A and B are shown apart, each in its own frame.
Chain A
């Protein structure tokens, strides 16, 4: 009986997915629009046609085939963007080398994870799916739209900037130095790993280009006067490092302590690298003026601290101090639980330091969009932007508010009223009865989820 039900359910979910188009249209009327970039509009309408916001105003009308939603008493805001997530990774860490720039999250997306649906139910429309923090230079990230029910490839955020994960401090020194007895064991080592790899990459580029030029000359030489050049093999890792130096990839650097944040800025200034984001950055508030001066961004927890030593001298007022110093800051989850209520995490910046409500909302919308290079397309309610929005039952910063609808490209992916009990896309026979952990009511936390699959590896 159960099997029949689940089969029907799978069919239902898939048929919804295949019947609907990838882009949708909707008109939401008489609602409060939290535009993010242009204030709050009371009693406003917003029209999304074929996935694009085409009008914002009042008394808008729509073609007859466009569904109309009465937004009276409700709030519409752009979909939340989480700049730090491991929501639906297949694996998170390629932990066997301090530098693994060549690996990507592109091939590590699980499009069937029910966590995607749970995040949609929290009003999240995009995430930055990141490699873990076991390596000083980790793998490349992937920015996703949470189009639940599509393939791996269709989840990718078209035209998002390429990103890569760096990691400083305890995690890489623990995995490599402490765990395997190789550099880096210290923050000194972390710096030199970065510098030496950039230098090697630059040398490689000169040698590789010289080789390619010589090869071309050799191939063009019909008279056999040029000796064949010694090959310089293509190196994917160095290619990626050169792309970073060229500014083609945005660095998102896992970091905690103020001194290591300063270190990376010194290194990046030496190599001319701009447009980067410090992730977690619990001590960023201590060097907020320096971060602002370098034009770097930060993406922080609302209140996580003290679970490991490098976050012991940190404060929940971090976001407020960064904001006051003019740093573009976002609030991220790095957690499949926190991502369910990032609105509430952002609200904590109002409690801790009295950040304005408007700025608090920016920290989960336009600011993370800037950090991922997608702010031209999403992150605010503006004509011409993509129709990634959520309808909230009340003010999005209130604990009593619930997400009622979540749209991506104008297509509805979450509906509170229609929300069935089981929203898994694929039913794994192995998880027909699953439990988490042991009977133990104190959870505690000793790690960010950046290290999620590392210790199994080390223990093996």
Chain B
């Protein structure tokens, strides 16, 4: 009982610090927290009405309906009529790498060079980007933040959105290698006729295959040396090939950015070649995936897709972008929804909402921003659902989180009940009733 009172005092003190300090955001609450009377959408273990979920620090301690699990020392959050979801994860962003896209000195997602496997998004991720608080208050707690450009752009990182350093925010600093698939297309800035395009494409693939061969050789050479260095000369270290070692072992996924039908088919052919059997391949973008969904499913390649773009071809049906995730899912592809955004990653729930409205349904669309990406990136033991022992990443919503009319009221990231203030809310508070004499 005594400790409960102390918690109230502490909470008041915390509120005090919010108002006194003119900092970017306030301080979080952390410790033993219980959310009660809510509809709990566990994602993997059904939906619990009038449920109880308790957090003990970083982890989910209990999910169910038993109120006796709540000790006296818990901060209790009444959430009758509200909904609890696992934090959403955006599988394709450059959040934290780009502050203002039109100001080049603030753009850190595009390194010079064509082959940059050693470039780490993790390194350039700015944990103090103004876009991060704006993103997380919408219930998006995790992002894949990816570099761009060249053939191999570098490695994307899986980050959570609460913390003061990339180190504390990284779930996986090397979550995936980004490969921008060489296009066979003959339009745009490239060659103007199909023969030239074909030639250019084949050359690019030859180079890529050569690279992969070198990477496999390097990996084999290094691991043999490391296993038994006695009497051997230490091979020279190559930064780029060193960065490919986990990739060729299939430990780091290869994220292939690919959009159009022909390119997807070419990428499938490459991905299913026996030389690349060890790779863990994921497709991203995949705007024309609906045209070749069966083939993608057969190859067993998961897809990261968005919905809020205009139809790719002028003669495409108006709803193709909205229907693409469901077309892939129906064929048997594991689908994760992404935005492809930087400052508006907060629109992830709406991207998923369109997928839900156009075939996928709400339940599957929720999976596409929670457990599916967690599985694709190999972190479903920690993230992606509300289960005992998993990291406490969740949010409380007044309704369906895909509906713009719903409000996201509170967000927890690794157990921290994060402050809901952002640049946007601070400007709102400052200017709603502005002093008009000044």
Contacts and interface: CB of A to CB of B under 8 A. Distances in A.
B293 interface: no
Give the dominant DSSP class at B's interface.
loop
A286 interface: yes
A441 B427 contact: no
Contact of B317 (A421, A427, A431): A421
Interface stretch (A177-185, A196-204, A207-215, A303-311): A303-311
Nearest to B285: A441
A145 to B, nearest CB: 19
Interface stretch (B48-56, B63-71, B353-361): B353-361
Contacts of B304: 441
A307 B106 CA distance: 11
Contact of B340 (A285, A312, A421, A442): A442
B103 A309 contact: yes
A423 interface: yes
Interface in A230-252: none
A424 interface: yes
Interface stretch (A22-30, A186-194, A336-344): A336-344
B423 A398 contact: no
Given A321-B432, A436-B312, A306 B357 contact: no
A121 interface: yes
Contacts of A400: 353, 356-357, 403
A437 B407 CA distance: 35
Nearest to A115: B310
B183 A303 contact: no
Contact of B423 (A115, A307, A313, A397): A313
A447 B102 contact: yes
A352 B425 CA distance: 9
A402 B317 contact: no
A435 interface: yes
A314 interface: yes
A398 B425 contact: no
Interface in B228-255: 255
Contacts of A307: 100-102, 342-343
A67 interface: no
A114 B350 CA distance: 24
Given A118-B318, A399-B402, A399-B403, A340 B310 contact: yes
Interface in B19-66: none
Interface residues of A, number: 67
A146 interface: no
A99 to B, nearest CB: 24
B115 to A, nearest CB: 16
B41 to A, nearest CB: 17
Contact of B434 (A289, A340, A424, A434): A289
Interface string B301-345: 000100011111111111000000000000000000010111110
Contact of B260 (A320, A353, A435): A435
A446 interface: yes
Interface stretch (B76-84, B91-99, B383-391, B411-419): B91-99
B102 A309 contact: yes
B222 interface: no
A289 B436 contact: yes
B424 A316 contact: yes
A440 B130 contact: no
Given A304-B344, A439-B183, A441-B285, A118 B311 contact: yes
Nearest to A113: B314
Interface of B: 92-94, 98-103, 109, 130-131, 146, 148, 180-183, 185, 187-188, 255, 257-260, 263, 284-285, 287, 304, 308-318, 338, 340-344, 346-347, 350, 353-354, 356-357, 402-407, 423-425, 427-428, 431-432, 434, 436
The 9 closest A-B pairs by CB, nearest first: A317-B428, A308-B102, A441-B285, A347-B404, A306-B343, A446-B101, A399-B353, A441-B284, A315-B424
21 contacts: A117-B318, A170-B102, A285-B428, A285-B431, A306-B130, A309-B103, A312-B130, A337-B310, A397-B404, A398-B403, A399-B350, A423-B318, A424-B315, A427-B315, A434-B313, A440-B257, A441-B259, A442-B93, A444-B94, A446-B101, A446-B102
